[in-house]
Structure 1
Amino acid sequence: MAGDLLDNQGRGDVRWSFPPIHPEGRKFGLIAVVISLGFLFGLDWEIVGWPLLLLSAGVFAFFRDPERVVPQDDRVIVAPADGLVTLIKQVEPPKELMIDDGTEHSGLQPGPVTRISIFMSVFDVHINRAPVAGTIRRVIYIPGSFVDAGLDKASEENERQHILIERMDGLKIGFTQIAGLVARRIVPFVKPGDTVGVGQRVGLIRFGSRVDVYLPAGTDSKVMLGQRIIAGETVLAEIGTQKLIEGVAQ
């Protein structure tokens, strides 16, 4: 039953259940259900109504919001998004995360850092989570185009939203939510000044998209190209650790 204590020694009782639906998505699912029922019972167009009813279930599934077991280790940066690692490269951070924004809080330092790009298909969970605990220093929305989010140029051309988090020790982590071909709305759950825990929900992107994470200088990726990762659980990097990771594509 809800509220039962579970632990890593096998104690507790758990049953499978469909993950909760985030409130942001309930209205879209209900609208799809109403339209499909209108075709089925109002117009008696079963050839349209049944596929739409199936699509309604897909809409609810898109906005599912499962619980995650978040690593409790100050040395690690966790994945902010579910999806596929499609790009890992050395780049300069976005200028919006580096320039003086007129506040007393500085941005990221200039210089090449490792960027990890995570592509989310329409089948992935689209709730984005904080990669580290700290204070939100910047939330910057940039309008743009909607090219394929899997392309490298999407980081600079697509509609996007930059978020900068400062840890208690002063270390800053930046990441960017990027709209794609299907995605048409980036929804933030946080604002500058908010305090977040590692793995806390910070926003979502509707219907297929990408998230770029900018690791601190002197930190390399602990994930590989082609690896599927889980928001709030997969460790992207260990701060200050540089090590070549090799694997075999299956």
Structure 2
Amino acid sequence: MNYPHPIIAKEGWPFIAATLILALLLSSMGAWSIPFWILFVFCVQFFRDPGRVVAGGPDSVLAPADGRIVVVEESEDPYLGRRALKVSVFMNVFNVHSNRSPIECTVQQKWYKPGSFLNAALAKASLENERCALHLRTTRGHDLTCVQIAGLVARRILNYVEPGTALAAGQRYGFIRFGSRVDVYMPLGSKVKVVIGDKVSATSTVLAELPE
């Protein structure tokens, strides 16, 4: 998927530039500069944002983020008020943190909820942490909810779309800084392709197939 800032996400440019300048300025101090060089390397790896091959077909729900599957269950979708199939992806600080559309769709609604900053791997993080949710409608009329959730370290959710925005499968729509989680609520009857503990890659891993 092409977009204007490949390889390194634009959200990271200020952090990378600042840590590089500090490391260079302190280089004359010898070993004292090492922590700043380590911080620079961390920022580069954290904000990496490689292109991805779009997997699956028109009814495939793709992973919206890199990480590990921590939830696969039937659950209440608190945004659309219905029973749904919930799959959650937990991102640690070493994962790519760009968030991508799980399917070709149009944004119907957007909700931002302030909240706590609990460990995003915990179940209650879905309801208590700061989060930003999107109601997505696919080209075939299915409704999904995709929720960005801040974590223990992540304190900034970035979301660049609004109701009416059309998204291609795998299109980049947001970013969460420094460790977090994304929940996807799908219609009941969807066929899940992952299990808890699986490592997934945004856009390149199919989470589920929507019902016909």
Taking structure 2 as the reference length, the TM-score comes to 0.93
Cross-structure match for 1:35: 22
**Counterpart in the other structure of 1:57:** 41
SS of alignment partner, residue 55 of structure 1? helix
Greater Cα radius of gyration, structure 1 or 2: 1
Counterpart check, 1:26 vs 2:10: no
Match of 1:226 in 2: 197
User: Who is 2:183 aligned against?
Assistant: 212
| Residues in 2 aligned to 1:220 and 1:183: alpha-carbon distance in whole angstroms | 31
TM-score by length of 1: 0.79
The one-letter amino acid paired with 1:77 is V
Contact persistence 1:87–1:117 (CA under 8 A): yes
- Are the aligned partners of 2:74 and 2:86 in contact in 1 as well (CA < 8 Å)? yes
1:194 corresponds to which letter in structure 2?
T
Task: Identify the match of residue 76 of structure 1 among 26, 49, 60.
Answer: 60
Q: Distance in 2 between matches of 1:73 and 1:83?
A: 22
Where do 5+ consecutive residues of structure 2 fail to align? 1-5
Deviation at 1:158, TM superposition (A): 0.4
In structure 2, the residue matched to 1:247 is: none
| 1:80/1:128 contact within 8 Å kept | yes
Structure 2 CA distance for partners of 1:232 and 1:135, relative to 1, 3 Å: same
Question: What root-mean-square deviation, in Å, do the aligned CA atoms of Structure 1 and Structure 2 show?
Answer: 1.4
Structure (1/2) with the larger strand percentage:
2
Equivalent residue for 1:151, pick from 108, 122, 143: 122
Q: Does 1:182 find its partner at 2:153?
A: yes
Q: Which has the higher contact order (CA 8 A, sep 6+)?
A: 2
Partner SS for 1:149 = coil
Structure 1 residue runs of 5 or longer lacking an equivalent are 1-18, 99-109, 242-250
